[in-house]
Amino acid sequence: MQWHVKIDIPFVLLADDPIRGIIVTTLSIIVLVILVFVITFPHTHQFLSTKSRWIIDAKSGQRVKLTCVNWPGHLRPMIPEGLQKKPLKDIVENVTSMGFNCVRLTWATYMFTRAAYTNLTVAQSLDRLNLKAANAGVAENNPQLLDLTLIDCQEAVINELGAHDIMVVLDNHVSQPEWCCSDNDGNGFFGDTYFRPKEWLKGLTMVAKRYKHNPSVVAMSMRNELRGPRQKREAWYQYIQEGATAIQLENPKVLVIVSGLSFETDLSFLKKKPLRLSLNTKLVYEAHWYAFGDPPEKWLFQTNQFCASITQWFMSQSGFVLGGENPAPLFLSEFGKDQRGANEPENRYFSCLMATVAERDIDWAYWGLQGSYMLREGQVEFEEPYGLFDANWENARNSTFLDRLQLVLKMTQGPKSKDSRYYVIYHPQSGQCLQADRGNVSATNCHHWSLWSHDGDGSPIWLRRNSGCLAAVGDGQSAVVTTNCSSQQSLWRHVSSSKLHLAAKDDQGRDLCLEWNSSNSTIVTKKCVCLGDDLNDVPWCSEDPTRQWFKLISTNKR
């Protein structure tokens, strides 16, 4: 998208009065620069590239953080979900108002490569599946889409997102349109029943070509959740190379997102044999992190220990790409939880995960936006408990959930933040941040926070630009900011294997941990719970330590 600004600089004034002329000219130039910046800046996302582990704006070099929500369009109807429930514009406005700057829009290869699908209109696709209510719903809410082909409908969605400055990551989710993913669904790995490598390459090429002049499409992810009995590393290197080349040939501007093996949980083989692509500044890796398959009793009774080990596992399987000799960006492109909150193991997983996402300021995409699916696994109007929308795509499924994302919706770090010595104190269970108001400490929604500094275990946590520091007063009492920073009540240490408990000693020498009190949203100090859940002699802890989980998040943002 090109923007032209025409501004007449009043040079003529120079003739009358040199000083006035210089002032006016200078002011005009400043106005011009500001205007050009304001008008072009939101539309420069199209040129994203990478620098070390950061995704940046190719022109300005500033970091651009992807804070996305997944929006599926790869199921059998091949229509982005929800268009049968609400006008496209309303859905997109909600995406904006919820705070996301990006959508990971999923698509199926066959929609582009098979004539039987490419020629279908939205109405025909729904008729074919006998989805009468969905058809009537689209007719009512989005009549302009009904007679578009499926691909044109996808483009209409992308254009609407673009009109609201929402970036789009196009994710090749499956070959045959279908709910994803299992080991034996024929869509898992190159050579599976429906997953023909040549056809996949053709699909990637067609998508890259179709959107190469569309600035909203900032990235293409090559394939979702490679998996199954056929998966092999050698084949992975070969096809990832071919896919990346195919995309780049058509569209050298777009970011190319690469996933690993085993349902997008394993990139560890890259440590031994790096991927040698000529992508330079366009390569981003992606990973998924869910609680699926985790033993629930581990999350329930050994919460600290399990969080520590699962975090270590994630970092060694995927997160390591952020560091090392050749750092690259990592896009956590799926994670999510049941919004109803009744799945307690999953609640704890989510707090654990949020601590890592915030700590590293990782780019991410929540799964998912959809309150329901037109048709999933044979069921019409399948409700999605992980969805941000309720089943009618009307209200938030859980109004408190978005509060938990407030810090990670913001950018706290960036290419220049290495020298930052300041921290936000973050409570992942609530998604809140600590704020000091004179002597009092409270938990806020992370639109504001206090900056703290800390030189490591056993030292005070100082309030920036203040001689005060965080201190424990006593068991069950509010944490305070004090000026007496030499006592043991203001010397803090990480005391559990998850490194998420922060403790100071009270005047009797007993450990007191920071704790969030949900009933009045204050920060108190209490006896630490479940510290020893990694020790053999205390194998079970029946309390919930996540209310005592805090993370110091390094930041360069004030």
Ligand X SMILES: *[C@@H]1O[C@H](CO)[C@@H](O)[C@H](O)[C@H]1NC(C)=O
User: Which stretches of the chain bind ligand X, using CB under 6 A?
Assistant: 93-94, 97-98, 115-116, 119, 339-341, 347, 389, 395-396, 398, 400, 437-440, 477-478, 484, 486-487, 517, 519-520, 522, 524
3-state secondary structure at position 282: helix
Alpha helices in 142-196 (DSSP H): 150-163
DSSP for residue 349: H
Radius of gyration for the chain, computed over Cα atoms and rounded to the nearest angstrom:
26
* Residue at 335: amino acid letter: F
Q: With respect to ligand X, which residue has the nearer C-beta, 94 or 311?
A: 94
Q: Residue 242, class by beta-carbon neighbours within 10 Å (0-12 exposed, 13-18 middle, 19+ buried)?
A: middle
Contact assessment for residue 155 and residue 145, using Cβ atoms and an 8 Å cutoff = no
Q: With respect to ligand X, which residue has the nearer C-beta, 112 or 285?
A: 112
Q: Tokens at residue 543, please?
A: 């309390």
Q: With respect to ligand X, which residue has the nearer C-beta, 120 or 258?
A: 120
- What's the rounded Cα separation, in Å, for the pair 52 and 457? 29
Q: With respect to ligand X, which residue has the nearer C-beta, 301 or 393?
A: 393
Minimum distance from residue 392 beta carbon to ligand X (Å):
10
- What's the rounded Cα separation, in Å, for the pair 255 and 257? 6
Minimum distance from residue 119 beta carbon to ligand X (Å):
4
Nearest to 112 by CA among 162, 175, 170: 175
Q: What is the pairing mode between strands 440-444 and 461-463?
A: unpaired
- What's the rounded Cα separation, in Å, for the pair 495 and 304? 11
Minimum distance from residue 449 beta carbon to ligand X (Å):
17
Q: With respect to ligand X, which residue has the nearer C-beta, 229 or 341?
A: 341
Distance of CA 338 to the CA centre of its chain: 17
Q: What is the pairing mode between strands 522-527 and 511-517?
A: antiparallel
Minimum distance from residue 439 beta carbon to ligand X (Å):
5
Minimum distance from residue 482 beta carbon to ligand X (Å):
8
- Of all residues in the shown chain, the one whose CB is closest to ligand X is 341
Alpha helices in 164-224 (DSSP H): 197-210
- Looking up tokens 């194998």 gives 539
Q: With respect to ligand X, which residue has the nearer C-beta, 251 or 482?
A: 482
Q: With respect to ligand X, which residue has the nearer C-beta, 114 or 230?
A: 114
Q: With respect to ligand X, which residue has the nearer C-beta, 340 or 421?
A: 340
Minimum distance from residue 507 beta carbon to ligand X (Å):
6
CB proximity list for 502: less than 8 A, separation 6 or greater: 461, 492, 493, 494, 495, 513, 514, 550, 552
3-state secondary structure at position 488: helix
Q: With respect to ligand X, which residue has the nearer C-beta, 43 or 114?
A: 114
- What's the rounded Cα separation, in Å, for the pair 283 and 268? 17
Minimum distance from residue 400 beta carbon to ligand X (Å):
5
Q: Report how many helices (DSSP H) and strands (DSSP E) the chain contains, helices first.
A: 14, 25
Minimum distance from residue 548 beta carbon to ligand X (Å):
10
Minimum distance from residue 333 beta carbon to ligand X (Å):
22
Q: What are phi and psi of 455, to 5 degrees?
A: -100, 15
Minimum distance from residue 99 beta carbon to ligand X (Å):
10
Q: With respect to ligand X, which residue has the nearer C-beta, 26 or 440?
A: 440
Q: Tokens at residue 512, please?
A: 């007191």
